[in-house]
Chain A
Amino acid sequence: MKKALIAIVLLGLIAAGVGFYMFNKEHDETADMKAAFSMTTTAVIDEFVEDEAAATTKFNDQIIEVSGPLMELMKENGMVVGLKLGEDDLSVVNCSMQNPIDPAELNIAEGQSVKIKGVCSGFNSSDMLPGGDVELKRCTLVTE
């Protein structure tokens, strides 16, 4: 009887521990993860434009490595929090960084090719604009 009670208490503690761990678990660092796809900005945008539903099923929640020309750095409080890759401002790969980057540490000029990886969240567009964007979150720069 006593043994059973101890077992129940122990199980309860383990369950609470697992629950607490799961709740407080941080996001995985994209930098430590392997990309499921590696492609150019044009190729990934084209796949979404051609068949949005199929591309969404294929890429959403997957880590994609994308290379293409840097279009714009998005800054907040002087730190780089996002970047846009592509050649046409109306069709870009739109990335938010997992960790803000000090612009002084970034040696990339606009138009220069960069490689980033991040978690794909889909394709966004508006009825009032032509084109559309592939969105990636928790991105990190890939340096080789």
Chain B
Amino acid sequence: MKYISTLTLLLIVCMTGWSQSTYYTKAGYVKFFSSTPVENIEAENQKLTVVLDTEKGKLEFAALMKSFEFEKPLMEEHFNENYVESNTYPKATFKGQIKDYTSIDKSSGDVTVVGTMKMHGVEKEITAKGTLKETASGQYQLDSKFMINPEDYDIEIPNTVRDNIAENVEVTVKATLDPLKK
């Protein structure tokens, strides 16, 4: 009897330990912005999945390419069909590790994340800076802005629109993460 209750207790401790270290959202915001003298192009996706393991400092993003919404349907069509080929490569993911996780400055929340971005079937190591703060309500607020170069992901921009699309595209990420209750 005593053995069973100890086991149960151990199990509960394990389970709560696991759940408390995972924070997530399915309603993260990600925007990319390309700025050139010819035109500015932006697309927003408010359905970004973000998962954070607060024990190990692991961070993961997952976004569907088709969930990026453009103001003009023609741009959205070109983006999906000609550039990122979202029927073949439907998702973009980032799997990273927060640098020096155990010693991050809690007041500024400044973090550097190193990891692998996978997009258009191509994996590339990237480093992004941002902030990660624990809120009073027990959530984590994540903000980051970094640049990516479409060419790094073998995304070909035709010469006819080469002047319309920036060489470096700015990516903005905002997410409020809730603890996983399971």
What count of chain A residues pass the 8 Å CB interface test?
35
Residues of A within 8 A of B72 (CB): 23-26
Interface string of A55-81 (1 = CB under 8 A from B): 010001100000000001010100001
- On whether the beta carbons of B66 and A125 are closer than 8 Å, the reply is no
- On whether the beta carbons of B87 and A133 are closer than 8 Å, the reply is no
- On whether the beta carbons of A126 and B67 are closer than 8 Å, the reply is no
CA A14 to CA B152, docked complex, whole Å: 39
CA A130 to CA B51, docked complex, whole Å: 11
Shortest beta-carbon distance from B111 to chain A in Å:
18
- On whether the beta carbons of B53 and A128 are closer than 8 Å, the reply is yes
Interface string of B26-64 (1 = CB under 8 A from A): 110000000000000000001101010100001010111
CA A126 to CA B49, docked complex, whole Å: 7
Chain B interface helix/strand/loop/mixed: strand
CB within 8 Å for A82 and B46 given contacts A23-B72, A23-B74, A138-B69: yes
CA A125 to CA B51, docked complex, whole Å: 10
Shortest beta-carbon distance from B61 to chain A in Å:
8
Say yes or no for B180: interface residue by CB 8 A criterion. yes
6 tightest Cβ-Cβ pairs between the two chains A and B: A121-B66, A128-B51, A121-B67, A126-B62, A122-B64, A94-B47
**Can you name 23 A-B residue pairings with CB atoms under 8 Å?**
A23-B72, A23-B74, A25-B74, A26-B72, A60-B87, A61-B66, A74-B27, A76-B46, A81-B46, A82-B27, A84-B27, A122-B90, A124-B47, A124-B67, A126-B60, A127-B60, A128-B22, A128-B58, A128-B60, A129-B49, A129-B51, A135-B47, A137-B66
